[in-house]
Structure formats: C-alpha cells, structure tokens
Structure 1
Amino acid sequence: MISSTIDEVLVETDGHIVVVTLNRPAKLNAVTPEMSKELTRLAHAVNEDDEVRVAVLTGAGERSFCAGSDIRTLDDYESPWAFRNRVDYCDALREVRKPLIAAVNGYAFGGGVETAMICDIRLAADTAIFAASEIKLGWIGGGGMSAFLAHSAGPSNAALMLLTGDPIDAAMAKDWKLVTEVHPRETLLPRAVELAHTIAARAPIAAQTAKANLRAAYTMPFEDAMRYERDLQTICFATDDAAEGRAAFTEKRAPSFRGR
C-alpha cells in the first residue's frame, strides 16, 4: 500500500485509487523541496504498484490547490544551475503512466497550474482561480506552462495568462478548456473520486495505453499518430483483459479486469 513519509503530503488509498493531498494549507499548499522529493517518490510508487489504477491530486484546506514552489526556498539553491537540475515534481508527475485527475479546490498559481495541467482530467471548484503568475516575480514557468496552456487554451489566451500573470476564475478556465467540469467546493473531491473509481473499473492496460496514445496524438504528425494508435490497439487486443471484455459482452455480464 502506498503511503507518504511526510506530513505535508497526504496519501489515502481507496480500492484501486489513491488520493494525494498537498497539505500546507497555511502556505497555500506551496511546494517545498522536501515535498517535491516526496511527490517524485510517490509518482514512481504509483507507476510500480499494480493495485493502483488511478490517482487524484488535490490540496488541503478551503483556499488553495497549489501555489507552486515555495518562493522562500528558491534562494536556497547555490546557483541557477543547481536550480535548473533540482528534483522537480512536475517532471515526475509527467512520467506517471496511470490516469491522473486534478481536483482543483482553490488557487492554482504558477506550478499549481502546471500540476493541474499535467493531469489527464481536470475538475475545479467554482471558487478556483488560475494564474501563470511567475512573470510578476521576474521569471516564467518551467514545468510545461507554455506548452500546456497553448494546447488547451489556445495561443492568444495562453499569451494573456503568460504575459500578464493575472488570474482567471473557474468559469473562464472551463470556457478556455483548462478544466472539464466545475463543481461547488464541497462536492468537488467526491466527484473526482467517483470519476476515478469509474476509470479504475476499466481495463487498466487499456487506460494506460489510451493515456500514452493521447499524449502521442499531441506530438506526432497525423499519419504517424494513426499508425501508433493501431499498434497500441493491437497490444491491448492481445491482453487477457481484452479477452475478458469480449467474453463478458457475449455472456451479458460485467467484466472483471485484472491488468493482464
């Protein structure tokens, strides 16, 4: 069973899903280097644990999902090169092969936007606020901010966020396709967990393959992406789960997928 080693990151297991909560509400769940290392460890653990099929990311408290890196710790790096080569939680989260769901319960600033955008499905509370705020401090995001925003919001909306650093609310984030659903804060996490359980009930190899295929669709030329999809489909078709799915359909029963 996956568990956390620090109080600032909480992990709860519920069947085939894990809920990871950033737990520094007094500091808007800003990520310290210690938290970054723990998130990196947990990302690897999620990949390696066959019992885990879906992960949900959220923040503790009523105000913030994640305010990015803790600004007060950035001067602790001995050089810009050390900062460049730091253990980065965004890099680790991008390497998670299993579906990730963000439950954005409040402020998503800087790296918090990147954390949310890394997730495959993003749900937001109606009180959530999003900002690519780094420019107000003299730098830009480094965890995929520009690429994620350009893909989801389009170049003009991305430029507005990146060049001003000003926030947008949950309604605008949904209109710009940064999030899929907006819910009252009290129902946000239950909805994210419900969705996670729905996905966890699907064939896990197919779910991971669908995630890999979707990412490839963003980066490959169309014809290459089509061929890649057909190859991935063939891999899935050869699994025991696919045989189970066909048998369950024939026998008019719910399938029991085992990730094989």
Structure 2
Amino acid sequence: MISPATDDVLFEQHGHVAVITLNRPAKLNAVTSEMSDALVELAQQCNQDDDIRVVVLTGAGERAFSAGSDIRELDKYATPWAFRNREDYCDSLKVLRKPVIAAVNGYALGGGLETALICDIRIASSNASFAAAEVKLGWIGGGGMSALLARSIGPSNTSLMLMTGDPIDAERALTWGLVSEVVEPAALLPRALELATTIAARAPIAVETAKANLSAAYNLPLDQAVRYERDIQTVCFATQDAAEGRAAFAERRPPTFTRA
C-alpha cells in the first residue's frame, strides 16, 4: 500500500484505480512544499506499480479542488533561482505515464488550475470555478498555464483568463472545452471513479500508448506525428494484450488484459 509522507495528501486504491486527494480543506487545499514532495513521490510510485492503471486526483471537501500554492510559503525561497528550480507539484503529474482524471470540486485557482490542466481528463462539479488568478497578485503562472489553457480553450479565451484573473464557472468551462463533463457535487467522485474503472478495463499498454501518442500529436509536425503513431501502433499490436483482444473478439467474449 502506498503511503504519502504527509496527512495533507491522501491515497486510496480501488481495484486498478488510485485516488489521490489534496487534504487541506480549511486552506482550500493550497499546496505546501511537503504536499508537493508527497505528490512527486506518489506519481513515481504509481508509475512503478503495474496494478495501478488510472489515477484520479481531487480535493477534500466541496469548496476547492486546489487554490494553488500556499502563498505564505513563496517567500521561503532564498533566491528567485531557487524558486525557479523547485520540484513543483505540477511537474509531478507530468511524469505520470498512466491516465489522470481531475475531479474538480469548487475552486481551481492558479496552480490548482494548472494541476487540473495537466490531467488528461477533467470533470467538474456544478459549483466548480476556474481562474488564472496570479495576475491579481503581480505575477503569472509558471506550471504551463498559458500553453495548456490555449490548447484547451483557444487564444482569445485564454487571454481573457490570463489578463483579468477573473474566474469562470463550470458551465462556461464546459462550453469552452476546459472540462469534459459537469455533474452535481455528490456525483463528482462516483462519476470520476466510474470513468476511471472503464479506462482501467482497457488494455493498459494501449492506454498508456494512447496518452503518449496524444502528447506527440501536439508536439510533432503532422507527418512525424502520423509516423510516430504508426510505429507505436506496431508496438501495441505485438503485445499479448493485443493478441488477447483479437482472440476475445473472435470468441465473442470480454477480453482479459494483463499488461503483457
């Protein structure tokens, strides 16, 4: 069983699904350096554990997914260069090869929004709200805010959020494509677990390959992206899971995938 190094981050496992919860509801789940370290360690352990196929990330309580970094900690860095080179909680999720679903309950502000954006799929409760609020405090996001927002909602909507710092509600986030679904607060985690369980039932290597391929599709020129996709399709096709999928189809039965 994986155990975080702080009680401010919780870990549970439901079958092949891991649930990571930011657990500072009284502080809107603002992330401390200890929480950041715990997230880095959890991401590495989830990568190494073949029994974990999907990760769900959420915040404790209904008020907030995360308000981003704990502002009071930002003055602890000795120099701006030390701040620049910190091991950030947003970066921890980038190393996850497995799909990550953000279950956004309440505020997703600043680094909390960046954290949600790094996740592969975002589901929001009807009371969720999203803001790139750093500009109101005199700086901008540094965990990929501009690039990730622009990919999700386009340059004009991104400019509106980055330059005003004002929040948008869940329905606007859905209309803009920032989230895939909006559900009532009580249904948020059950829906995220339902979706995660569906994905976990698919061939794990194929799912991880799909995630890697999508990243390549964004970062490579079109002809290289198509060639890359063909190459990793061939890798998937050679797995035992792919053979199981073909056999199950021929035998008209559900496949049993073993990550092989």
Q: How high is the TM-score relative to the length of structure 1?
A: 0.99
Partner of 2:174: 174
Deviation at 1:16, TM superposition (A): 0.4
Deviation at 1:142, TM superposition (A): 0.6
Distance in structure 1 (CA, Å) of the matches to 2:92 and 2:22: 15
Partner of 2:162: 162
Partner of 1:17: 17
Distance in structure 2 (CA, Å) of the matches to 1:202 and 1:129: 32
Unaligned runs of 5+ in 1: none
Partner of 1:113: 113
Q: Equivalences for 1:123-138 in 2 at 5 Å?
A: 123-138=123-138
Deviation at 1:97, TM superposition (A): 0.4
Runs of 4+ in 1 over 4 A off after TM superposition: none
Partner of 1:56: 56
Distance in structure 2 (CA, Å) of the matches to 1:53 and 1:2: 14
RMSD: 0.6
Partner of 1:152: 152
Deviation per CA, 1:96-148: give whole Å up to 9, x if none: 00000000011000001111011100000000000000011111001110001
Partner of 1:240: 240
AA partner of residue 229 (structure 2): E
Q: Equivalences for 1:246-257 in 2 at 5 Å?
A: 246-257=246-257
Unaligned runs of 5+ in 2: none
Q: Helix, strand or coil for the counterpart of 1:249?
A: helix
AA partner of residue 233 (structure 2): Q
AA partner of residue 88 (structure 1): D
Q: Helix, strand or coil for the counterpart of 1:124?
A: strand
Q: How high is the TM-score relative to the length of structure 2?
A: 0.99
Distance in structure 2 (CA, Å) of the matches to 1:214 and 1:72: 37
How many residues are treated as equivalent by the alignment? 260
Q: Helix, strand or coil for the counterpart of 2:124?
A: strand
Deviation per CA, 1:67-114: give whole Å up to 9, x if none: 000000000111101100111011110110000000001100000111
Q: Helix, strand or coil for the counterpart of 2:195?
A: helix
Distance in structure 2 (CA, Å) of the matches to 1:62 and 1:17: 22
AA partner of residue 140 (structure 1): I
Calculate percent identity across the aligned residue pairs: 68
